[in-house]
Amino acid sequence: MENSNKKNFFYRMFCGAFLGVSVIAPGISGSIMAVMMGIYDELIGIISNPFKNFKKNFFYLLPMVIGAGASVILLINALDFMFENFPVPSYLLFMSLIAGSIPSVIDEAKKGSIKAKYFVGTAIALLFALTIGFIAKSEYAIAIDTANTASTAMKIYLPLCGGIAGMMSMIPGMSISMLLMMFSVYEPLLGLAKGILSPSAWFSSQWFSDVLTVATVAIAFVIGMVIFSNITKLVFEKHRSLAFLMVLGFMSGSVISIFPGLPNGLINWVLSFVFVAIGLFISYLFKVLGKKFNVE
């Protein structure tokens, strides 16, 4: 039993690492990652009522928090480099991760009673995801200077965006980063995070100010996530087949929305094939490991 618990601990830490990546990788849905890894039901149950069985929930989430924190700290610069220099292969990597988990989502939908009218929900979810993706990629502008994160307006606007992103994060297929792009705050927040992690800036007055700003966004995000998770949990409990068919729509819309186009040049073509293979392998690996460890 002890050995099994250790395996589950490291598996959940592995899952947490990918959840952390989903926060900073453009267009990637953390909820989809959770569905793919077989931990979505557990997460939505815990988040919807975090203080019920608090001790058990704490130790269930602890390895995920460790994994997520480690991946953000270690990979934020690497991901920034990848998307800056090799955007097409990088997006294709995450597209293949999402696409590789589609069969698992279809299997979940089949566990309930599928009705023809449920596919209307799939179409609506697909259109909604495509709309979010289109707005995020367009020249969408707001009346706030989002580059000035120290302004009073941004002190209010950033947590507001964080709260909305937290609510939407509970919907599988909705990408936190894509929503933040739509609100024109993804790059400012990424810049703040990179500044906080830079040793040269540690413990300066600006560093403390940036930490406070990011903390308020994080708190607002968690509050929004907890509030909306109860609605999401109810839908999955009462209408599971419909819920997973809508997840299928969100996933398909996400894949289409983040498609970067065809690679350009031999290096990008080679990297694209390699990254797609890696993405499909990882999605398959999660399916196998999820069943083996049962993530309970």
Rounded CA separation 194/197 (Å): 5
Quote the pLDDT of residue 293: 60
Quote the pTM value: 0.73
Quote the pLDDT of residue 5: 56
Quote the pLDDT of residue 2: 46
Helix (H) or strand (E) segment spanning residue 139: none
Identify whether the C-beta of residue 285 lies closer than 8 Å to the C-beta of residue 96. no
The letter for the amino acid at 98 is I
Q: What angle do CA 12, 247, 68 make, to 5 degrees?
A: 25
Beta strand residue intervals within 60-102, DSSP E = none
H helical segments located in 138-204: 152-168, 176-182, 186-196
Quote the pLDDT of residue 1: 42
Print pLDDT tens along the chain (296 aa): 444 455 688 888 988 888 888 777 766 778 777 877 778 888 888 888 888 888 888 988 999 999 998 888 887 778 778 877 898 998 898 888 778 878 878 887 888 788 888 899 899 989 988 887 777 667 665 667 777 888 888 889 999 999 988 988 887 767 787 778 778 788 788 888 888 888 877 888 888 988 999 999 999 999 999 888 888 888 888 888 888 898 888 888 878 887 888 999 999 999 999 999 988 888 787 777 666 665 44
- Output the six-digit token pair for 273: 């094939």
Quote the pLDDT of residue 198: 80
Rounded CA separation 37/30 (Å): 10
Cβ neighbourhood burial of 222 (10 Å; 0-12, 13-18, 19+): middle
CB atoms within 10 A of CB 31: 25
Provide the residue range defining the domain that includes 149: 2-293
Considering only CA atoms, which of 36, 31, 17 is closest in space to residue 289? 36
Domain count, the chain: 1
User: Tokens 């600006």 appear where?
Assistant: 206
Rounded CA separation 276/271 (Å): 8
